[in-house]
């Protein structure tokens, strides 16, 4: 029995490794389009910034490791050209044909490219993208940079390029960042970027690099799931455009599973399909897909969309829905935003901003947004746990959270926000 996995980064290698643990006799082959596998793609902006000295520092394992330690065959620089599922066969760009009995599609996503790109325009999705950009910055020594897109990659690249001393302009077509239409968050990020001498141009769509005069351009205007080949073979895509899968990561093709940035999953709050390409999600989905391809019956219940990003030293984190998203999903949201200290002032306490959202009718917590210099990760994880447990605001207010002056405020900022939200609901 042969399992073929298309994609050799987070989801694909999680699937292959999990399948091997459950079935020692399974023949497993991983096909990866790029030259490097098992690397931390989320670290690429930090490589550009200089936090990592080389791309090798982002690499977790080599193909040799998987062959030697896990008996998984990995082929890099191997691109699939077509899927012929009736014949259980992949055709490669090279013309070679690969037979499979079971297939895990973990082909990820690709960046949206600009029209008429030139040699100073870069995207940042793969290690090869990062290597090309790093070479350009080192050899050409540009002085000015444009970043198109105010999402995760865009804001991380603004930070990285400013750290390298470039003069940076950020262009964003919408009036907010990170797909979160929250005025308080937009104001805080804008103020921070401007203090870092970044020229911010919100509500400024850009269609082509030819419109900009900067020395280097980072195009971070979104991504698209890599679904075309498997969709041509008959796999259905969902309302988000990514592959439609069950809670067992099964596609609509028998014997084919999908995981990671190419697939939808269920949103734990809205209970609707969502496409949020995140590394942690890819790993978890990959494990479930690989387990089921090896004969298990495991489930992936979904995600709350929990994520965190650093913007010029500021931690910004989300989980669940904000008010606008909740309204679109049929809830009646109420929200409260507070500023509080994460610790007492005599322990160098810093400002933490917290927004909580709850449903007016059921008092169920729907989401949280948190921004601050420190303590953001711990706070958002508490909120994410509350969403997974489907807590009401009253449940949340009864949480017993730790306090000691060196690490926490006497009243946790999350509970301050919850109390304010309770007053809003009344």
CATH number at residue 410: 3.30.390.30
Joined together, the tokens standing for residue 189 give 């990020």
State whether 264 and 177 are in the same domain. no
169/193 Cα distance (integer angstroms) = 10
pLDDT at 115: 85
The pTM for the full model equals 0.94
368: nearest Cα among 407, 403, 426, 316: 316
State whether 202 and 100 are in the same domain. no
Joined together, the tokens standing for residue 255 give 């014997």
pLDDT at 348: 86
Strands (E), 80-203: 80-84, 89-92, 97-99, 102-105, 109-111, 121-122, 144-148, 167-172, 199-202
The answer to the question of residue 71 being in a domain is yes
pLDDT at 135: 98
The answer to the question of residue 298 being in a domain is no
CA 311 to chain centre: 15
State the Cα angle at 209 between 204 and 213, rounded to 5°: 85
pLDDT at 349: 87
Instruction: Read off the pLDDT of residues 27-86 as tens digits, 9 standing for 90 and up.
Output: 999 999 999 999 999 999 999 999 999 999 999 999 999 999 999 999 999 999 999 999
Catalytic member of 42, 196, 249, 262: 42
- Pick from 183, 202, 221: which residue ends a domain? 221
Question: First vs last Cα of the chain: how many Å apart?
Answer: 61
State whether 351 and 400 are in the same domain. yes
Instruction: Read off the pLDDT of residues 334-379 as tens digits, 9 standing for 90 and up.
Output: 999 999 999 998 988 889 999 999 999 999 999 999 999 989 999 9
pLDDT at 200: 98
pLDDT at 287: 98
Residues 6+ apart with CB under 8 A from 124: 44, 45, 48, 111, 130, 133, 153, 157, 218, 220
Q: Is 310's pLDDT higher than 90?
A: yes
User: Taking residues 375-402, what's their average pLDDT?
Assistant: 97
**Could you give the C-alpha distances from 130 to 10, 142, 298, 308, in angstroms and in order?**
18, 16, 36, 21
194: nearest Cα among 309, 307, 314: 314
396/363 Cα distance (integer angstroms) = 10
- Residue 196 appears among annotated catalytic residues: no
In the numeric block, the tokens 């490669």 are attached to 92
161/279 Cα distance (integer angstroms) = 23
Instruction: Read off the pLDDT of residues 149-167 as tens digits, 9 standing for 90 and up.
Output: 999 999 999 999 999 999 9
201/195 Cα distance (integer angstroms) = 14
State whether 254 and 201 are in the same domain. no
User: Taking residues 171-198, what's their average pLDDT?
Assistant: 96
Instruction: Read off the pLDDT of residues 288-306 as tens digits, 9 standing for 90 and up.
Output: 999 999 999 999 999 999 9
Q: Classify strands 365-372 and 351-359 as parallel, antiparallel or unpaired.
A: antiparallel
Q: Classify strands 102-105 and 109-111 as parallel, antiparallel or unpaired.
A: unpaired
State whether 318 and 414 are in the same domain. yes
Joined together, the tokens standing for residue 367 give 């989401």
State whether 244 and 318 are in the same domain. no
pLDDT at 426: 82
- Pick from 202, 221, 240: which residue ends a domain? 221
Instruction: Read off the pLDDT of residues 85-129 as tens digits, 9 standing for 90 and up.
Output: 999 999 999 999 999 999 999 999 999 999 888 999 999 999 999
The answer to the question of residue 337 being in a domain is yes
Helix, strand, coil content of the chain in percent (nearest 5): 35, 25, 40
State whether 118 and 91 are in the same domain. no
Averaged pLDDT of the chain: 96
55/33 Cα distance (integer angstroms) = 17
Q: At what angle do helices 63-70 and 10-22 cross, to 10 degrees?
A: 10
State whether 189 and 285 are in the same domain. no
pLDDT at 30: 98
Phi, psi of 199 (to 5 degrees): -80, 115
Number of domains in the chain: 3
Joined together, the tokens standing for residue 53 give 């000295």
Q: Classify strands 256-258 and 265-266 as parallel, antiparallel or unpaired.
A: unpaired
The percentage of the chain sitting over the pLDDT mark of 90, rounded to a whole number, equals 96
Domain that holds residue 405: 313-425
357/329 Cα distance (integer angstroms) = 13
Question: What CATH code is carried by the domain that includes residue 134?
Answer: 3.50.50.60
The answer to the question of residue 300 being in a domain is no
For 192-248, the DSSP string reads HHHHTTPEEEET-----GGG---SEEEE-S-EEE--HHHHHTTPPB-TTSSBP--TT
pLDDT at 374: 87
Phi, psi of 105 (to 5 degrees): -95, 110
State whether 277 and 413 are in the same domain. no
**Could you give the C-alpha distances from 242 to 103, 111, 259, 283, in angstroms and in order?**
17, 14, 10, 17
The answer to the question of residue 131 being in a domain is yes
State whether 78 and 135 are in the same domain. no
State whether 93 and 231 are in the same domain. yes
The answer to the question of residue 288 being in a domain is yes
State whether 105 and 229 are in the same domain. yes
The answer to the question of residue 308 being in a domain is no
CA 387 to chain centre: 19
Which helix (H) or strand (E) segment holds residue 338: the answer is strand 333-341
Q: Is 224's pLDDT higher than 90?
A: yes
User: Taking residues 272-301, what's their average pLDDT?
Assistant: 97
Cβ pair 214, 136 in contact under 8 A: no
Instruction: Specify the 3-state DSSP secondary structure of 90.
Output: strand
User: Taking residues 1-26, what's their average pLDDT?
Assistant: 97
- Pick from 221, 247, 276: which residue ends a domain? 221
């Amino acid at each position: 029995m042969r399992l073929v996995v298309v994609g050799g980064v987070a989801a694909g290698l999680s699937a292959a490794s999990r399948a091997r643990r459950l079935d020692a006799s399974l023949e497993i082959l991983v096909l990866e389009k790029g030259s490097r596998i098992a690397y931390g793609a989320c670290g690429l902006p930090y490589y550009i910034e200089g936090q990592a000295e080389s791309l090798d520092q982002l690499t977790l394992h080599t193909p040799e490791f998987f062959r030697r330690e896990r008996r998984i065959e990995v082929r890099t620089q191997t691109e699939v050209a077509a899927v012929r599922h009736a014949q259980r066969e992949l055709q490669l760009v090279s013309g070679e044909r690969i037979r499979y009995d079971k297939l895990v599609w973990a082909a990820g996503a690709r960046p949206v490219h600009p029209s008429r790109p030139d040699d100073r325009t870069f995207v940042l999705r793969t290690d090869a993208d990062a290597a090309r950009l790093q070479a350009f910055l080192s050899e050409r020594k540009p002085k000015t940079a444009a970043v198109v897109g105010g999402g995760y990659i865009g804001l991380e690249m603004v930070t990285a390029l400013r750290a390298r001393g470039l003069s940076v302009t950020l262009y964003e077509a919408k009036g907010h960042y990170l797909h979160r239409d929250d005025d308080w968050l937009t104001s805080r990020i804008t103020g921070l970027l401007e203090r870092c001498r970044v020229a911010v141009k919100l509500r400024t769509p850009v269609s082509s690099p030819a419109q900009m005069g900067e020395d280097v351009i980072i195009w971070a205007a979104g991504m698209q799931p890599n679904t075309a080949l498997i969709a041509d073979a008959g796999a259905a895509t969902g309302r988000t455009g990514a592959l439609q899968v069950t809670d067992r990561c099964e596609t609509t093709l028998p014997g084919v599973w999908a995981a990671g940035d190419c697939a939808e999953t269920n949103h734990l709050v809205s209970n609707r399909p969502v496409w949020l390409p995140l590394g942690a999600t890819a790993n978890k989905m990959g494990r479930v897909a690989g387990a089921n391809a090896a004969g298990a019956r495991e489930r992936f219940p979904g995600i709350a969309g929990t994520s965190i990003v650093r913007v010029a030293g500021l931690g910004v984190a989300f989980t669940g829905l904000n008010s606008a998203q909740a309204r679109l999903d049929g809830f009646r949201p109420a929200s409260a935003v507070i500023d509080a200290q994460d610790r007492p002032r005599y322990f160098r306490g810093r400002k933490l901003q917290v927004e909580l959202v709850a449903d007016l009718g059921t008092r169920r917590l729907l989401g949280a947004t948190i921004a601050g210099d420190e303590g953001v990760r711990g706070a958002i994880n508490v909120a994410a746990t509350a969403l997974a447990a489907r807590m009401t605001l009253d449940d949340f207010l009864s949480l017993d959270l730790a306090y000691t002056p060196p690490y926490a405020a006497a009243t946790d900022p999350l509970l301050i926000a919850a109390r304010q939200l309770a007053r809003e609901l009344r």
